[in-house]
Structure 1
Amino acid sequence: MGTNVQLDDFIAGWIGGAASVIVGHPLDTVKTRLQAGHGYTNTVQCVRTIFKNEHVAGFFKGLSFPLASIAVYNSVALGVYGNAQRFICRYRYGEDLHQSPALSDVAAASALVGLVTVAIGAPVDLVKIRLQMQTQSVRPAKLNLVGASALHSLALNDQPLYRGPVHLISRILRTEGIVGLYRGVGAMYLRDVPGYCLYFVPYMLLCDWMTPEGSKAPNLFCVWLAGGVAGTISWGTATPMDVVKSRLQADGVSETKYKGIVHCIQQSYRKEGLNVFFKGATVNAIRGFPMSAAMFLGYELALKVLRGQ
């Protein structure tokens, strides 16, 4: 378990992360608009509206920043997971390299991933959400929802509030301070710590189940399928807290409405009912498959190359 093997996980994680961002960003935009936007009734209507008003480019709003940063975020996630799992197994089983990790080992490593990655990724996620959402309040059709004064403060002559990631970050730091970049971080922890457990545990179980007896590792199809199913499970179950997180992070594009997690839950439930917490659940489950399948496939392929297998 040398240094090179430990670094392999981070490098392979970056490659897998880049693949997942490119594959999943269009559906991520749809999911964000459904959860934190106004005027969308369902997934199909949201897709049609984005395409009609913003064309194909609308689905890729805010892509540059997550492509540059979420790939690093996933590199940290998979790097921490691989190294944490090895550390736990070495602590529990000594130098027995043939001992497979138990479910409790995988769950512990997964929870650690959630704790580490949220601290790093919360500002990245907020920037992505704000860039995806900033067109929401500059449409004339939204006048009755946000008010003319909010529209004027948001955009002059239909210009977006944020010119790009750097401008957005500098504006938040100037108006809200460093705390502004971590808005919604509590909800993100509540989503990601259990979410990563429901990510890596199903992936490991499915890979073990699909790997033929006598084989040392699952084939690439098994990796692709197990990764996709794990992503669907994880993202599907994370939707309620993902809604809260998205609303807290998007809060402030036009006005600040929520004081925190509990207030956001109360206000959302009072105005929109229980169904609000499952907005985007279909998109989450659907996008979870190709994103996670691409990530795990890219990760495992990169590991094979890096380790000369």
Structure 2
Amino acid sequence: LFAGRMSSQDLSITAKLINGGVAGLVGVTCVFPIDLAKTRLQNQQGKDVYKGMTDCLMKTARAEGFLGMYRGAAVNLTLVTPEKAIKLAANDFLRQLLMQDGTQRNLKMEMLAGCGAGICQVVVTCPMEMLKIQLQDAGRLAVSHQGSASAAPTSRPYSTGSASTHRRPSATLIARELLRTQGLWGLYRGLGATLLRDIPFSIIYFPLFANLNQLGVSEVTGKAPFAHSFVAGCAAGSVAAVAVTPLDVLKTRIQTLKKGLGEASYSGVTDCARKLWTQEGAAAFMKGAGCRALVIAPLFGIAQGIYFIGIGERILKCLE
């Protein structure tokens, strides 16, 4: 019965994986500089190196060049394909499991499907962002240290024996050192915070997008046009992104290995939240909220647009 229903719905896991992968690659390429600014703004403690997103991007471009705004992009571009593919395919697959007589049971089932998608994607998301954050934040630390000639060197969770490499660590170097010193768990530092962010995000995003997108579905084709899917993805992504920004700040702080002079370290989610509240106030929980909305909105708008266009299905047809 389930196999027949899958066939009637013309569902193809391979096509969905291709759609998610292509969408992730295109989206990340477009918005990565804003994501870098978000990470640096969220990690600022005490005296701010950057006054905002625009100031951060301008200073980064001047100090590190255009490619400096894409520091850490290689990690994202490598792993975003399986991450987005897993997220979108898992949600779609779970929604199909929860369907009855061709209709969604209720909003609770949609939220449950989103929850499952959020849990599945963390397998890739956590190590990907763990490595990405170290590379993105390296420039902020360099600027911070330059501002204080007497700044003492911070502790390094990884070493290479080369001063130049200390300034520009690679994802491979960091991953190798974490595996050597902490095992596989080292790559999953901040797993709890990642789950706390991604599960609520998916619970909010997927049902909201599904309902917004349904408003534009054509009776003839049974699909919403690209423009409508794109706008629905942007709107749902913005709402979900801003809603979970406090959890994203906690995750970023916990996963950042190298700290600037006088910056706090954290033992977990509760410790991070307590120190953030007492040392920086409530506003600190919304650091980078604007950047996050600007990253997630087009990222998921592009993702859902490509997903509903069916690029994966078209590629598979060409290969037949």
Is the CA contact (8 Å cut-off) linking 1:36 and 1:246 kept in structure 2? Answer: yes
- Are residues 1:251 and 2:257 paired? yes
1:119 is matched with which residue? 123
CA drift of 1:288 comes to 1.8
Q: Post-superposition shift, 1:120?
A: 2.9
- Rounded to whole Å, the distance in 1 between the matches of 2:35 and 2:105 is 33
Equivalent residue, structure 2, for 1:202: 208
2:156 aligned with 1:143:
no
Give the aligned partner of residue 225 of structure 2: 219
Q: Is the 8 A contact 2:15 2:313 kept in 1?
A: no
The SS at the match of 1:174 is helix
> Kindly, what percent of the aligned residue pairs are identical?
24
Mapped to 2, the partners of 1:199 and 1:115 lie a distance apart of 14
Work out whether residues 143 and 151 of structure 1, in 8 Å CA contact, stay in contact via their aligned partners in 2.
Answer: no
2:73 — aligned with what?
63
CA distance in 2, matches of 1:253, 1:217: 48
Q: How does 1:1-309 map to 2 (within 5 A)?
A: 1-2=6-7, 5-37=12-44, 39-89=49-99, 93=100, 96=101, 98-100=102-104, 102-139=106-143, 140-143=145-148, 147-150=151-154, 157=163, 159-161=165-167, 163-212=169-218, 216-252=222-258, 257-301=265-309, 302-305=311-314
CA distances 1:49-85 after superposition (whole Å, capped 9, x unpaired): 1122112112101111110111111111111111111
Tell me: CA distance 1:229–1:150, structure 2 relative to 1, closer, same or farther (3 Å). Answer: same
Contact 1:198/1:234 (8 A) holds in 2: yes
| Contact 2:259–2:265 (CA under 8 A) maintained in structure 1 | no
Q: Is the 8 A contact 1:9 1:79 kept in 2?
A: yes
Q: Which runs of 5+ in 1 are unaligned?
A: none
2:3 corresponds in structure 1 to none
2:49–2:140 contact (8 Å) kept in structure 1: no
Whole-Å separation in 1 of the counterparts to 2:291 and 2:228:
23
- Cα contact 1:61–1:131 (8 A) shared by 2: yes
Distance 2:105 2:58 in 1: 46
TM-aligned CA deviation for residue 256 of structure 1: 7.5
* Range 251-260 or range 171-180, more displaced: 251-260
Q: CA deviation at 1:156?
A: 6.0
Tell me the amino acid that sits aligned with residue 265 of structure 2.
K
CA distance in 2, matches of 1:141, 1:50: 14
Distance 2:55 2:207 in 1: 34
Contact 2:154 2:259 in 1 (8 A): no
Q: Distance in 1 between matches of 2:155 and 2:282?
A: 29
Residue 159 of structure 1 deviates from its aligned partner by 4.2
TM score, norm. by length of structure 1: 0.88
User: How big is the shift at 1:100?
Assistant: 4.2
What is the RMSD computed on CA atoms of the aligned residues? 2.7
| Residues 76, 117 of structure 1: 8 Å contact kept | yes
> How big is the shift at 1:189?
0.7
CA distance in structure 1 between the aligned counterparts of 2:187 and 2:298, rounded to whole angstroms:
29
What is the CA–CA distance in structure 2 between the aligned matches of 1:162 and 1:178, rounded to whole Å?
23
